[in-house]
Amino acid sequence: MIANFITENNILISALILIISYIFIAAEKIPKVTIALLGAVITVLLGLVSQNKLNGELLNPNYFINFIDFNVIFLLVSMMIIVNISTKSGIFNFIANELLKLTKGRPVAIFTVLALFTAITSAFFDNVTTVILIMPVTFFIAKKLDINPIPLLLVEIFASNIGGTATLIGDPPNIIIGSAAGLSFTDFIKVLTPVIAIILFFVIAFLTFIFKKELVTTEEKMREIINIDNSKTITDKNLMIRSIIVLGLVILGFVTHDITHIETCIAAMAGASILLLFEKPTNILKDVEWNTIFFFIGLFIIIGGVEASGGIKLMAEYILKITQGSQQATSMLILWASGIISGIIDNIPYTATMSPMLVEIQKSMGADYTVPLWWCLSLGACLGGNMTMIGAAANVIVSENSAKQGYPIRFMQFMKYGAVVVGISLAVSAAYIYLVFLK
């Protein structure tokens, strides 16, 4: 009786599990990894996805493991290992300090350099790692110059989310999209880097105008920045050299994917493995963000339940119906909806839900039709994270640390600037997508 009810209403039940999971994730009362794993267990126990690998003598397409995207999982774990090991050498703080010396202590120049450094670093490392690296430098500068660190922290948050959009590995939503759409590291560089550079220019210009009255200090304090002692920032030269070589080779592996056909996760795993040869794995692996990894795994299984029930296909058909199959309308709907929704809820579960839906659209409308939709999803999901303080993990990390230092960033204060930044970002993205793909 119960089994029949579940079978007859599997779309509704799987959708309810997903929606309830979203609500609890957004509420942040229970750790999101717990919600994701609990939702995954319920999905499996209700039979929405199968516990069995085989269906008779044939492979079972609804086996729950099949819905976990291990390309995403292994790429994330490997990049976390590489970044954790590389950071120990002090290389990133050394680069930041050298860049600051070039500004000659001028607050507006420092504001711009910190934004550019954060954006470029976020293109190759996850946003959380980037802001964790740059925050101590930021508080040090603000203290030396006797200025409010909040403008510097805000531009770093916005720059991290914008810069992370530029590459396959810069932001988790892009990793999900790249795996689902079969897009390479080079594809992201070719398509997204130009528009991200334009968006970054406009955002920095806007924020410089808004905060210029707060970015003022004395000549004496500027000289202190020029005289920063950077001689002891590198703590392990051998590790620094190894890290630079391995990082260079891994990025080369990403860029040459179209030639070598080596998957990005394999290139990253190779780099992580080489660096681990010189480390104690237990010391490094304990710093991997396992909460994030298991959050992804649980989420993939929950969404797998919606996909196996036919719910994802139904969503795809509905979107095509309301846009009447128009590529332009569908693209703009996905771009702006993704931007707004990702400002309210975590962009990772949102992207993980939308990606299978775009695969369904691709099945019915063809690959050419779907190309701009993938880029709209990427731009909307990644850039939308700048709207609110809970829109991306980097936002939360920075706001929490700022409060501990005695400089709380209020939710509405953040949103006042974030909404404008997202508006600028999505408007530029819409114009770019239209001119490149839809004109």
> What is the gyration radius of the CA atoms in the chain, in angstroms?
22
Type of residue found at 255? V
Top-confidence range, 269-278, 384-393, 398-407:
269-278
Return the pLDDT at 1: 61
Decide: residue 189, CB within 10 A, 0-12 exposed, 13-18 middle, 19+ buried: middle
Return the structure tokens found at 287.
Answer: 């710093």
- 146-158 tens-digit pLDDT: 899 999 999 999 9
Return the structure tokens found at 427.
Answer: 């408007």
Domain boundaries, the chain: 2-67+91-233+289-438
Residue 325 has pLDDT above 80, yes or no: yes
Q: Nearest-CA neighbor of 117 among 96, 133, 145, 103? A: 96
- 6 pLDDT band (50/70/90 cuts)? low
Return the pLDDT at 172: 84
Residue 439 has pLDDT above 70, yes or no: yes
Q: Which of 106-115, 153-162, 344-353 has the lowest mean pLDDT?
A: 344-353
Return the pLDDT at 99: 76
Size (the chain), residues = 439
Q: Are 205 and 279 in contact (CB under 8 A)?
A: no
User: What letter does residue 435 receive in the DSSP assignment?
Assistant: I
- 39-98 tens-digit pLDDT: 999 999 998 988 988 877 788 888 899 888 888 888 888 988 988 898 888 887 787 778
Q: Nearest-CA neighbor of 75 among 251, 269, 262? A: 269
Give the span between the Cα atoms of 136 and 287, in whole angstroms.
19
- 10 pLDDT band (50/70/90 cuts)? confident
- 108 pLDDT band (50/70/90 cuts)? very high
Q: Are 77 and 288 in contact (CB under 8 A)?
A: yes
User: What letter does residue 384 receive in the DSSP assignment?
Assistant: G
Distances (CA, A) of 354 to 205, 324, 361, 412: 32, 19, 11, 28
SS3 assignment, position 406:
coil
Q: Are 393 and 358 in contact (CB under 8 A)?
A: no
Return the pLDDT at 171: 85
- 164 pLDDT band (50/70/90 cuts)? very high
Q: Are 138 and 152 in contact (CB under 8 A)?
A: yes
Residue in this structure with the two tokens 């450094």, named with its chain if needed: 117
Q: Residue 63 pairs with which residues in a beta bridge?
A: 50
Q: Nearest-CA neighbor of 422 among 349, 341, 358, 350? A: 341
The answer to whether the Cα torsion of 14, 321, 316, 439 is positive or negative is: negative
- 3 pLDDT band (50/70/90 cuts)? low
Element (H, E) at 54: strand 54-55
Top-confidence range, 27-31, 123-127, 362-366:
362-366
For residues 26-33, average pLDDT:
80
Residue 421 has pLDDT above 90, yes or no: yes
SS3 assignment, position 58:
strand
Percentage of residues in the chain having pLDDT higher than 70: 98
Percentage of residues in the chain having pLDDT higher than 90: 40
Distances (CA, A) of 351 to 140, 372, 374, 403: 36, 15, 10, 30
Which residues, 6 or more positions from 236, have their beta carbon under 8 angstroms from its beta carbon? 88, 89, 90
Q: Are 272 and 82 in contact (CB under 8 A)?
A: yes
- 8 pLDDT band (50/70/90 cuts)? low
Return the pLDDT at 428: 97
Residue 397 has pLDDT above 80, yes or no: no
